[in-house]
């Protein structure tokens, strides 16, 4: 089952003794990646910023529909490998998050 927004968060965990885990969010379908809700608005998040589970962190536009990208876990955004307005392919990583320890 694909969650709303067509994106499936994929958690990648480090081995024991390596601290917190890392989560990656990958695009489930192709589209255009947007880091902000509108051209004049600030980005949803920036590298080094904190996110909460369920928080919108980006949008992907496909067929004139804007689908929110939400953080699956709370943590710190470590990498956003795409520029605002970049074309994204299905399966491409759009955000990396260092998960908070429970």
- The Cα–Cα gap between 11 and 84 comes to 24
The better pLDDT of the pair 20, 88 is held by 88
pLDDT recorded at residue 102: 57
- For 76, the token pair is 């710190």
Q: What is the pTM of this model?
A: 0.75
Examine the pLDDT at 19 and tell me if it is beyond 70: no
Q: Which residues face 88 on adjacent strands?
A: 31
pLDDT recorded at residue 12: 40
CA dihedral over 86, 89, 92, 93, signed as positive or negative: positive
- The Cα–Cα gap between 34 and 21 comes to 25
Q: What is the mean pLDDT of the chain?
A: 81
């Amino acid at each position: 089952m694909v969650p709303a927004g067509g994106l499936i968060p994929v958690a990648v965990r480090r081995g024991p003794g390596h601290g917190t885990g890392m989560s990656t969010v990958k695009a489930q379908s192709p589209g255009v990646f947007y880091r902000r809700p509108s051209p004049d608005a600030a980005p949803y998040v920036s590298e080094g910023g904190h996110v909460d589970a369920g928080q919108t962190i980006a949008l992907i536009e496909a067929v004139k529909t804007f689908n929110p990208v939400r953080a699956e876990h709370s943590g710190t955004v470590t990498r956003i490998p795409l520029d605002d307005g970049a074309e994204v392919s299905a399966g491409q990583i759009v955000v990396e998050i260092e998960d908070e320890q429970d």
